Amino acid sequence: MKAELLSKKDNTAEFSMDFTAEEFEAALARAFKENRDRYVVDGFRRGKAPRSIIEKRFGEGVFFEPALDILFQDGYTAALDELGLEPVDRPALDFKEGTQLAKGSGVFTVIKVAVAPEVEVTNYKGIEAERHVKKVTDEDIQKQLEAVQKQNARLVDTDEPAVTGDTVILDYKGFVGEEQFEGGTADNYSLKLGSGQFIPGFEDQLIGVRAGEDKDVVVTFPEKYHSKDLAGKEAVFKCTLHEVKKEELPEINDDFAVDVSVHDTLEEYKADIRKMLEEAAEGAAEYDGKNNVMEKLYETNSFDVPQIMIEDETDNILREYESQLSGNGISLEMFASFSGKTVEQLREDVKGDAEKRVKTRLLAKAVAKAEGLTATDEDIDKEIEDMAKQYGMTVDQIKPIFSGDNARAMKEDIVMRKAIDFMYANAVFTDIEETEPAGEEPAPEAAPADAEKTEA
């Protein structure tokens, strides 16, 4: 296949792809092999008729269309790489004037496609930006120890009245008036007081109750409660507490360090925590610095991009929303409705972010081009190895995934990261010291799976 750039103007490229007669014949042979089962010829079992018989019966051009698809699939990506083009829309294919498709002849095509603009990037070296940094303190280490201590607390029975933070084991039955309502009943339910699992007021009324005691909890369902039959109504939950359990925290000492880590002493464990928090703080500072550098680069470089690129990136953002929302059983339409908007209005809202994403990506690529940054074979091998580890697959299993468009996307990601790393390394930062703890405490314990099934 021979590719030649014919013109490039207003973010539209036109180029030719010429295939030899031999390449067309090879594509025809492959098209026959992949499609022969579709044709029934008298005297032959399905898929067993020779190519010449099928062509005689259905016409010489019977395999031309699938053969052209094969040529285009194999040649298009190679032509883009050879000509250094980045398409942003579907290509339009035509034949050169005078081209006649026939066995024994070559195939001569012209491709027209919208491409990403060539950006002239400026002011990308020595960018002045802020960077938030965090110095790890003894207090940070103590907070982390206490978080791990809390994670390893054990629940012990108590005869004392329940207080916030205790876990109670209870039965409850919900009534509106004299009628018990569906979904408001549970036996031996484990509830941590203060967790906010149930509607406001429910957990507060169990404070002061002892194991073995009964308690009528009176609450009013919110006006916007998900069950319309209960929304805004007063209800009584007849509760029986079987157990009250308090958290018993382990003492923070050498034995604690042995139990929760690979270290033999508390001091060794503290040193490991400090190292972990410092690495996290350095990573957070770098992440913040890179974001601010890219923000500055965006502010100082203005250019237009094809609308199709913004539309495509808008689609990507909405797909990301959908993916995140689906985990909570919420559709994009529901999310938009909660916000008092339609999906189309939501789409308009994110177009600004989409345009910024597109332009930022193009700027990073322009920096890479200006500095001669490329994705080496070693970079690609490492990327595939990292992907294999991430998904628990072997390199041989994951390698076939990264071909064609996926391979091009992976190379682009590598080059963009190199460009951002380059700008970060050459930036001039004003460091702003953070006072918040360097490490986040573990997330609160998840509510029991059946908590959402109750009406409380």
Is the pTM here over 0.85, yes or no? no
Phi, psi of 399 (to 5 degrees): -55, -45
| Interval 84-139: pLDDT, tens | 898 988 999 999 988 888 988 999 999 999 998 889 999 999 999 999 999 999 99
Q: What does the chain come to in residues?
A: 456
Confidence of residue 299 (pLDDT cuts 50, 70, 90): very high
CA–CA dist 454, 443 (Å, integer):
23
Alpha-helical regions (H) of 300-390? 307-326, 332-338, 343-371, 377-390
- The answer to whether 439 touches 280, Cβ cutoff 8 Å, is yes
Least confident of 64-68, 165-169, 246-250, 324-328: 324-328
Nearest of 361, 353, 359, 362 to residue 314 by alpha carbon: 353
**Rounded to the nearest 10 degrees, what angle do helices 377-390 and 405-425 cross at?**
100
What pLDDT shows up at residue 439? 45
CA angle 101, 104, 107 (to 5 degrees): 40
How confident is residue 444, by pLDDT bands cut at 50, 70 and 90?
Answer: very low
DSSP state of 194: T
The span from the CA of 27 to the CA of 184, in Å, is 67
Q: What ranges do the domains of the chain cover? A: 2-114, 154-248, 258-434
Rounded to the nearest integer, the mean pLDDT of the chain is 90
CA-based R_g, the chain, Å: 33
CATH 3.10.50.40 describes domain 154-248: yes
Q: Is 357 helix (H, G, I), strand (E, B) or coil?
A: helix
Residues 256-297: pLDDT tens digits?
999 999 999 999 999 999 999 999 999 999 999 999 999 999
Which whole number is the average pLDDT over 202-223? 95
Q: Residue 436 — pLDDT band, cuts 50, 70, 90? A: low
The pLDDT value recorded for residue 77 is: 87
258-434: same fold as 154-248? no
Report the C-alpha gap between 85 and 408 in whole angstroms. Answer: 11
Distance (Å, rounded) from C-alpha 33 to C-alpha 109? 24
CATH T-level topology, domain 2-114: Alpha-Beta Plaits (3.30.70)
**d(Cα 330, Cα 347) in Å, to the nearest integer?**
17
What pLDDT, on a 0 to 100 scale, did the predictor assign at position 450?
35
3-state secondary structure at position 93: strand
* CATH number of the 258-434 domain: 1.10.3120.10
Mean per-residue pLDDT for 15-37?
Answer: 94
Instruction: Give the pLDDT confidence score for residue 448 in this predicted structure.
Output: 27
Q: Which residues of 15-44 are buried (b: 16+ CB within 10 A; e: fewer)?
A: bebbbeeebbbbbbebbbeebbeebebeee
